[in-house]
Amino acid sequence: MSKPVVAGVGRPNVGKSTLFNALAGSRISIVEDTPGVTRDRIYADVSWLNYPFTLIDTGGIEPESKDIILSRMREQAETAIMTADVILFLTDVRQGLVDADFKVADMLRRSGRPVLLVVNKVDSFEKFMPDVYEFYNLGLGDPIPISAAGKLGLGDMLDEVVKHFPDASQEEEEDERPKIAVRVSVSPIAGTTRDAIDTTVTRNGQEYVFIDTAGLRRKSKVKEELERYSIIRTVTAVERCDVAVLIIDAEEGITEQDAKIAGIAHERGKGMIIAVNKWDLIEKDNHTMKEFTEKIWEKLSYMPYAELIFLSAKTGQRLPKLFDLIDAVIANCALRVQTGVLNEILTEAMAMKQPPSDKGKRLRIYYITQVSVKPPTFVMFINDKNLTHFSYTRYIENQIRTTFGFRGTPLKFIYRERKEK
Ligand code: GDP
């Protein structure tokens, strides 16, 4: 199930980064060792009262001239409008209200998306509350006073945030259409809502929702900022999808940007299909496909489970096969394996290859069971976490895959220690 996305916007120095840190704490989820994924802190997994959500850091805006700040704030707000389920509009009680606040508030209000007006740096409610009332003038409802630095008022703010989350059970019932994150070549128009970038395709009576991952690229001085927004849009599109289809241009080969998107889908545990498009334009001999395939796995070695397909959107070559793959991968992401069968595989695997040992002590795996799907997640009960080794985890994974395939979906393994009997 996709998690709600919460994004913060606001002028430079109002405390967006401080708030992000206060909420995300040590739970920032960027996996450092996934190659190709930006190391920038962009999103974090947060939960409040059993409501997990993805927190997006839209990033700091460097204070430059007033005009530039405003245009960058618009860009930032636009990204939040397109991607977030709830927007936190941050202001600063000490600086008070400025013109840019009114303009951005206007833009947010017109978007119709849930916006919470947060007034930061209220380090003492007694001292600053009278100044907070001024913020009613923004027309965004009740201002929520907080101190990001002092961690004051954050609980009350989060209570408001989760109230705006779509009801998960209802959403599942309402929309069971497969959702596919894909980069389509239509640039989103400024101020459009995110629905405008969802495209519905019907095939054999089944509707598929294609979500644009971004594709926003403009040449400008603020390139870095835009690159960040483009990644944010990708993250949220991938968050909402069941399976990500990474479309690689056969003429260009796999780019850094492609690798980044793949890394994000991998981290978010999503199904993955790599589609090499414009295959009609490539001059081929007997080795072309093999060479191309090798180059892709060189870059994406951490996701050998991904499905790969060579197609041409223009001629229609293998397009029906792509839909078949999408269906198959979605089914694999939701596949459940019975505990009995899993433990048979485990026992056999351990008989063929002993678990690793260290200083005379051997890893013992007592039991394996699948605890969830999307992605399929397995818990292994063991004697000592220090004895685990990723190469052995991968070996077990491969044994499971040999039997069940699970093509296109990552598998997740969790170790739990249990006292030796
Ligand atoms: P950003 O540009 O919006 O990301 O703002 P930062 O998070 O970098 O914060 C800007 C400045 O405001 C820093 O010096 C923070 O220490 C300070 N700051 C942030 N939150 C608070 C707060 O709740 N109270 C006070 N007094 N200062 C804060």
pLDDT, tens digit, 9 for 90 and up, residues 219-254: 444 556 666 777 777 788 888 888 989 888 899 888
The reply to whether the predicted model has a pTM over 0.95 is no
**Would you say how long the chain is, in residues?**
421
Residue 22 has φ and ψ, to the nearest 5°, of -65, -40
Q: How far is the CA of 121 from the centre of ligand 1 (A)?
A: 7
* Ligand 1 atom index nearest CA of 90: 3
Mean pLDDT on 385-412: 95
Q: Element (H or E) spanning 403, and its range? A: helix 390-404
Instruction: Give the number of other CB atoms < 10 A from CB of residue 120.
Output: 28
Between 174 and 419, the more confident residue is: 419
Distance CA 410, CA 304 (A): 9
Domains of the chain: 5-163 (3.40.50.300), 175-333 (3.40.50.300), 339-417 (3.30.300.20)
Q: Shortest CA distance to 247 belongs to which of 219, 284, 275?
A: 275
Residue 211 has φ and ψ, to the nearest 5°, of -110, 125
In the predicted model, is pLDDT for residue 196 greater than 60? no
Cβ atoms of 270 and 234 closer than 8 Å: no
In the predicted model, is pLDDT for residue 403 greater than 90? yes
**Residue 419 has which token pair?**
């006292």
pLDDT tens string 134-159 = 999 999 999 999 999 999 999 999 99
Assign 327 a pLDDT band (cuts: 50, 70, 90). Answer: very high
Give 211's DSSP letter. E
Instruction: Give yes or no for residue 332 CB within 6 A of ligand 1.
Output: no
In the predicted model, is pLDDT for residue 191 greater than 50? no
Tokens 């796999």 map to which residue?
Answer: 254
Between 298 and 63, the more confident residue is: 298
Q: What per-residue confidence (pLDDT) applies to 70?
A: 81
pLDDT tens string 48-96 = 888 889 888 876 666 666 777 788 788 888 888 888 899 999 999 999 9
The DSSP secondary structure of 310-379, one letter per residue, reads E--TTT-TTHHHHHHHHHHHHHHHT----HHHHHHHHHHHHHHSPPPEETTEE--EEEEEEEETTTTEEE
Q: How far is the CA of 18 from the centre of ligand 1 (A)?
A: 6
In the predicted model, is pLDDT for residue 37 greater than 80? no
Instruction: Give yes or no for residue 76 CB within 6 A of ligand 1.
Output: no
Report angle CA 269, 274, 278 to the nearest 5 degrees: 155
